[in-house]
Structure formats: C-alpha cells, structure tokens
Amino acid sequence: MSIGFGLERIGLLTLKYPKIVTAILAAFTILCLVQVPRITIDGDLLRLYKDSGEYYDTYVELGERFGTFENDAYILVKSDQLTDPEVIETMRELALELELNSFASGTLSPFSLRKPAQEDGVTRPAVPEDMQSADEVAAALNDLRQNDPMMRNLIVEDLTGLVMLMFPNPDMLKGDGETRMIAELRELISFYDDPRYEIELTGPPIWKSELLNASKSDQIKFTASGIILGFLTAFLAFRTFWGAVLATLAPFVSVLWVVGSVVLIFGSFTFLTNILTALVLVIAFAESMFFCFHWLRLSREGMDHEEAIRETVIRVSPACALTSVTTVIAFLSLSIAPGQGIFEFAITGALAIPMAFLALVTFLPLALRAATRAGFKPKKAPSVALTAIIPPLSRLAERRYRPVAILGGIAFVAMLYPHFQLQPTFSFQQFLPKGSDALDTSEAIDQGVGGVAPLYVSIPLLDNDPQITDSDFERVETVHEILEGIFGKGKVISGASFNHYSEAGFSREQIFDAVGPFMKRRFITDEGDLAMATAFMPTQLGSAEVRELVEETDAALTAAGLGDTSISGFRVLSAYESVEMIQRLQDGLTIAVLLSILIIGVAFRSWRVALICVIPNFAPILGTELYLWVSGAGLQLTTVISLTIAFGIAVDDTIHFMNHYVRARQQNYGHKEAVMRTLERVGPALIATTAILCAGTTVVIFSVLPQVALFGALCVLTLFLALLGDLIILPALLIAGGRLFRSFGGQPK
C-alpha cells in the first residue's frame, strides 16, 4: 500500500470512469450551490461554551430561574443639559416608548422606578413629573442618587448622563428577531435626534450584531480575496492565464462544497467556522499547485499530457492523501477541548479537508484532461521567481549541512523554554470588531454608572417565602455589602437596593409591588427559594482580573458563612472556561504533533523518516510561540487553534519533500544526490504553495475582528517558518544524518 493508504485510487477511478464521476460531481456541486443563498452566521458567543462544564451549567440555570442582563439593550444618554426640565421630560417620553417597544418584556430606567404606595395606595414616579427649573431637576436627581442605591446605577454622578435598559422577550429574538429589534431601537433613537443630548446604544445584542456583520464581511472578503490572490500567485508561477485558471478551479470547488455542506449539516456558520472557507481555500490551492507542478514537469519531460495526468495521480496523490490525514488529525485534536463551538469547528474542519482532497483527485484531473483536449499547452519552465533561490539553498545544504543541522537542533531545544512558559489568557473585547462604537459606549457606562459586564451571586433562601423573611433578607444584605466592598458603591443591584424604603417604614411587599413583578423576578424567584445579587464589572477586564474578582468574592462569601452561594455570569463563564479550553487545546496540539509524526512513520514504513520530521514540523510552532512569549501576547483561544491548523498545513510540505526523496532513493539515487534532486524539483513547488498559503491567509490579518486577525498573522508566521525548515533545516538534517539514510530504500549509498 502507498503512503496515502490507497486513497489515490479515487483519482484513478475518476480517470477510468470519467462520465460517471463527472455526473456525481455535478450533482453534488449543484446541491451545494443551491445552499449558498441560505448562508447565515450565528454570532451567539454562548454557543462557543455550550456543554463546556460547571460554569456553563450554572450560568444557564441562573438564566432560566431569573433571567440575566446578558441579552439586555443599554441606552446611554449623554447631555450637559440633562437638568433642563424640557430635556428630562423628553427622556421620560423616550423611556415610555422603550417600555412600549414590541420586543420589550420590561425596562429599567430612572423613569420606570416608582416609590412605594403611601396611605392612598398609589405609587409615584421616582423622578418627579412636571419639574419647573434646572435647580429643581438637579436637586431631585441628586436626592435620588444619594438615597436610592438603584439610581446610582442609572444616573451619572455629575448629572451629565443616564442609562436605560430594555429587557427583550427571548421568544421574539429567535431567527432574525434580534436584528429587527436593533433596527427598531435605532429608529426610535433617531427620532430623538437633538443637539442638546446624545443617545447611544450598546449591550450584548449590539455586540453580537457587530460580530455578525464583521463575520459576514470577512467571509465575502476572505473568499474573494483568497481566490484572486491565489490566482495571481498561480499566474506568476505558471506564466499562463489558463494554467492559473486550472490551479484555481479545484480550490474554488472545494470552498463551494464546504459552504454547502456546512449549511446542510449545521444550518449556519459561527465566527470560528467562518474562518474555514479561507483555510480550505489556501490548503486546496497548495495541493493544487503541487499537483499542477508535477504534471507540468512530466509534460515538459516529453510524457503525453493525459498520461502525465495519470502518472501525477499515482505519484502526488498519495502524499496529498497523507497530508490530508495529518491535517484532519490536527482538526480532530481540537475536539478534546470542552465547548460546542470548538467541537463544531473541529468536526467541520475534519469534514472540509477530505472534501478538498476529493476535489483534488477528481475534479482537477478531469479539468486538466478537458484542458489538454481543448488545446492547452503549458509553458516550458516555471517562473524564475520560484527557482532563483534553489541553487543557493542547494549549496548551503551541500557545504554547510553540519553547522545548519547543529544550529537547528540548538534553536529547537532553546525554543522549548517559552513553550512551557506561555500562559493562557482571554480578553472578551477581542471578540468584538476594532473601533466598536458599542464597546466605547459600554466603557462610558462603566465609568459613569454601574456597567455592562454583570457578575451574579445566587443566594439560597432558607424560608422559601416570595416576600423574603427577615433572616433571609439579612443574607441578601450581607451579600450586597460584600459585593459593594469589592466592586464599589453604586455597582450592585439586589433586593437590598431598596433598604432606604424599608427604613422609611415601607414593607417589603409594598416595595416589591412598586418595583413590579418583572423586576422583582430579577431579585427573587417566584417560589421564594433563591435570590440574586448583581455586581457590574468594567467591560475591559481580562480573564485573569475577572478570576481574581471571583476568587476574592468567593472567599469573602465563605468567610461570612455564605458558602452555599454560587457565582456566575457570562464574563465569569468565559474567564474560566476559555482558559480551560486553551489548556486542553494546547494538549491537543501536542497530541496532533505526536500522532502526525507517528502516522508519517507508519506511512513511510520507517522510524527514520518519522524521526527526521520532528524538528522541521515542531520548530515552526515553537518559533511562533517564541514570538507570542516575547510580545507578551500569551496563549489565546484562536492562538492555539491557529498553531494547530498551521501545523496541519505545514506538515504537508515535509511530506511532499520526503515523498520525493524516498522515490528518488527507490530510483537508485544515492542519499546526498537524492536530497539535492528533491530540493531542486520540490523546492519551487514548496515556495509557490507557501506563497499562496501566505497570500490567502494574509487576507485574514485585515479582519476587523482581533481574534481572527491574530489567527491570520500567526498562520502566516508559522507557514513561513515551516518553509524555512523544509528548505534549509530538513535537507541539512538529512545529509548530516547520512549514516541513518545511506541504506534507506535498499540503496547503500
């Protein structure tokens, strides 16, 4: 069996039964093409963490019992004329319209809060109506801020701003509901356009909308730019328009198949699987270039064009199959990390790579056969841009192989240090587009009032009374005080926020009646068995800072005898589970490297080939990790994903190099001569494929999503280092290890 485990037979069957295969390919391509209009991108970040562990389970349970602030829309009003009676009444009108919004199940604003009923049984607005002067408005707002802790979360201290929250109905957000809600809110805000005040919209739904829009833009940009850049690189390599077209067809079809399959299987893309179109495109381009280069060389050497296609399938497809296997392993290694989002990315990638291979061994041979019958004649030699560097590299490998091999080994060992020093890190804002207006607005809310990043503490109530007994209320008060001590005054909301009314003689029943049933459910369950306190953190906190706050809060609660409470929130979930994901992904990367090396050894039936592949394949990852360590970037979620996928792609070049070397030894070439011949023949293809891979992946660097841009940058760096390893380190190691390889392939030379 070949190193491709016999998978090249698919290509031979294609050439044997072209009409049947063409019909099958056409039917599947049409099926995928029909799915293109149905493309959607799910921007729900919670999908990334689904089924990831106890923090996810706690967060979901909390949302089901109370509802959370994570889907709420925040409206920030900024005005240095907020105390103008006309302005404050206009804001009251805005708050009323917000409450009447078709998507609203409730609102929270200075105007929605009411004072408990007195003797007449009538509740009154917390912000008095029909005030006549700026001084009267200022006095009323200051009084509310001083005496009503809830108001400190809604009114800026210097009275230049206030916050309104709309709690959407979850059932109405399904499908395109969230998009329609945001459009309706923007339309409402535009109606209140006035030079006296500025109204801004933010909150998780708006962040998600920005993420979706950026992902959609990226998908179009990546696919179109990747095809164009790949075509131009192929054109420079082959020096013929139709040669570039032939090299581009298979990658284009691969992307179409992947897009259609993702829509059919998963129903939508996520911001992670969205990257796969660019990845599949560049991987398919790389293999297509290898295939076309080999076919062109056989044609130039005098072989009949159609026979050259068959011979290329026999010679190149096994290596392409093996590279597909190692890349699939790289993807599948990601699946050991917790969370549905990573699992979907891993499975989608593991399905996409075989599709790219099938396009290579079926669609491309048929396209080349059709082109030759239509009269296509390739140029006699590849571009000098691809071959000019080969002679100097050959001289370096031939004359300086020992120093190069030693330096490569020393560098490899030295780079192991940063590999073990890198620490996982996670920052929520890196998931949002650069220059996000909604993020800027969130930071303004952080500075002025409560904040947009909630942390929840659920408090078991021992007496199961919906009106809260005195003993249970003491537990809520204690939690409230602890949170205020950690997060600051005016940064906490709970049932204890209304203590000033209790001190004024109102009963808790009167207070909760004034708050209303919807807001009451944010503080205590209808069954009276659980209460919730909410603290607001700054939006820009990183995962380490969030974990410190959680641990400080947990320690304080335990010390106060409240160890039965639980802490949750999306930021808590992401801070803990993301780090766990990153650590598991790093383990998966190590497994992928070891398994790939093992499979290479099995495929070539040689432990020597497996051994020689360790440094060229692992060193690019270590080099990129060195950059991360020096730059202080640390290990982020997409960092480990990019390293894993880049390794899967980079190992392709090593396999093609070793495949050609082994074939040269089997053709009675001596060890050193086989290395030089391989470098001369495979080197230009390696350069061309890396150029296409880097060109296609470079497009990703320009994404407005920082995590996606980082993914692209690290892939490019890893691929470039892999090329250096295969053209400089690998030949030097092969020649320096001559004793190991002199009898390789049965030729003692």
Give pLDDT tens digits for 173-217.
777 788 888 889 999 999 998 999 999 888 778 877 777 777 777
> What is the rounded (10 degree) CA torsion for 611, 613, 615, 621?
-130
Burial class (CB in 10 A: 0-12, 13-18, 19+), 232: middle
3-state secondary structure of 107: strand
Q: Domains of the chain (ranges plus CATH)?
A: 9-46+208-376+385-414+574-746 (1.20.1640.10), 73-202 (no CATH), 444-568 (no CATH)
3-state secondary structure of 737: coil
| Range in 16-20, 177-181, 309-313, 548-552 with the lowest mean pLDDT | 177-181
Question: What is the structure's pLDDT at 381?
Answer: 58
- Give the span between the Cα atoms of 675 and 109, in whole angstroms: 74
pLDDT > 90? residue 20: yes
List C-alpha distances in Å: 115 to 137, 469, 470: 17, 21, 21
pLDDT digits (tens, 9 = 90+) for 313-337: 998 888 888 888 888 888 888 888 7
Quote the percentage of the chain above a pLDDT of 70.
87
Question: What is the structure's pLDDT at 48?
Answer: 78
Question: What is the structure's pLDDT at 553?
Answer: 93
pLDDT > 80? residue 713: yes
Q: What confidence category does residue 304 fall into, taking pLDDT thresholds of 50, 70 and 90? A: confident
Question: What is the structure's pLDDT at 743?
Answer: 60
Question: What is the structure's pLDDT at 571?
Answer: 84
- Higher per-residue pLDDT: 91 or 386: 91
- Higher per-residue pLDDT: 126 or 67: 126
Tokens of 714: 């690290």
pLDDT > 90? residue 555: yes
Question: What is the structure's pLDDT at 501?
Answer: 58
Tell me what the pLDDT averaged over the chain comes to. Answer: 81
pLDDT digits (tens, 9 = 90+) for 559-590: 999 989 999 888 888 888 888 888 887 887 78
Across the range 604-619, mean pLDDT stands at 84
Burial class (CB in 10 A: 0-12, 13-18, 19+), 742: middle
Question: What is the structure's pLDDT at 371?
Answer: 85
pLDDT > 70? residue 513: no
| Cβ-contact 455, 550 below 8 angstroms | yes
pLDDT > 70? residue 597: yes
- Give the span between the Cα atoms of 261 and 267, in whole angstroms: 9
Q: What confidence category does residue 237 fall into, taking pLDDT thresholds of 50, 70 and 90? A: low
pTM (two decimals) = 0.73
Half-sphere exposure of 20 (CA within 13 A, CB side): 7
Q: What phi, psi does 166 have (nearest 5°)?
A: -115, 125
- Higher per-residue pLDDT: 715 or 417: 417
Q: What confidence category does residue 275 fall into, taking pLDDT thresholds of 50, 70 and 90? A: confident
Question: What is the structure's pLDDT at 440?
Answer: 67
Question: What is the structure's pLDDT at 29?
Answer: 93
Quote the percentage of the chain above a pLDDT of 90.
12
| Range in 44-48, 68-72, 299-303, 316-320 with the lowest mean pLDDT | 68-72
Across the range 428-450, mean pLDDT stands at 65
